[in-house]
Amino acid sequence: MDRLYEKLVERFVRWAETCSDIRAAAIIGSRARVDHAADEWADLDIMVVTRDPKRYTSMSDWIESIGNSLLTFVEPLPIGGEMERRVLFEGMLDVDFAVFPEERYKGIQQLLQDEIHPEIAAQISNVFGRGMRVLLDKDGMLAQLRTIISSIATPTARPPSQHEFLEVVNNFLYHAVWTAKHLRRGELWWAVTCLACRMHWLLLQMVEWHARTTHGWDYDTWFRGRFLEEWADPQALKGLRDAFPHYDEEDLKHTLLGAMNLFRWIATETAEKLGYAYQKKSDEQVTKWIKKCLSQKEE
């Protein structure tokens, strides 16, 4: 599989060299990382800096210059507001082409040279700081970016304030009630998506804070739950078994309460380590109401 990806990269570079609008390209993500390097299941992430981004996001004919594709689609990048074209080539080779307009890229360079916000620095560290393999650099832009990034100290995460901590707790409890109401109404889709999307991201935030209050604020929790099985508390991992639902009413009842039990334990312990107060009274009232709501029989 690695050799197949390398052949694809070679074809991409040969093609990109002939495209005057493409000014730079680099592999980012797992296939450029040293720590947690790519395995046989890893996809290929290629950043493309171009003067004509619409050419690559609104059209797909150019893909055939690289390889035979089975399917392709476009979606927003997780950060930055740009788009990426995702392609599945023959052999199930999945490649994400993150398309950056040249002017936007130059703006990022200027931003990096100025005083940078810690959250932006953390995002840049996660995207570029973990590894970048330059494929094409016609104007020396990526060389400049590397120099700038290397001069930026990887930011150490900071503890949440009391307000930030309570925002996550209150958000979680609010949506637990919201989920229970939609579950009683029979709207399983809404109940499942609220629990599995909204509430689980809040749970992940608390799992990250808990790990860092335990191991120190320079402890690497990666991003968006990557490698969670390696850095999260073993008890938290065990609790997650009862926190993910099937599309089934009875299972949703069980997993909603399971997610709440896990969140309560993690948040309470995190609050103690931070010297904060947990919303114990609100949690008790919400939990009591949800248990009563879910146990009632339809009239």
pLDDT reported for residue 269: 97
The confidence score (pLDDT) of residue 157 equals 80
The CA distance from 233 to 260, in Å, is 17
- Annotate 82-104 with DSSP letters as a single string: -EEEEEEETTTEEEEEEEEEHHH
Residue 41: CB atoms within 10 Å: 8
Helix, strand and coil in the chain, % to nearest 5: 55, 15, 30
Closest CA to 139 of 25, 52, 28, 24: 24
- CA distance linking residue 222 with residue 28, whole number of Å: 15
Q: For residue 184, how many C-alpha atoms fall within 13 Å in the half-sphere facing its CB?
A: 16
Domains present along the chain, CATH in parentheses: 2-151 (3.30.460.10), 162-295 (1.20.120.330)
pTM higher than 0.85 for the full model? no
Query: Which stretches of the chain score pLDDT less than 50?
Result: 298-299
Question: Which H or E run includes 69?
Answer: strand 69-76
Give one DSSP letter per residue of 139-175, joined into a string: TSHHHHHHHHHHHSPPPPP-PPPHHHHHHHHHHHHHH
CB-CB neighbours of 55 under 10 Å: 15
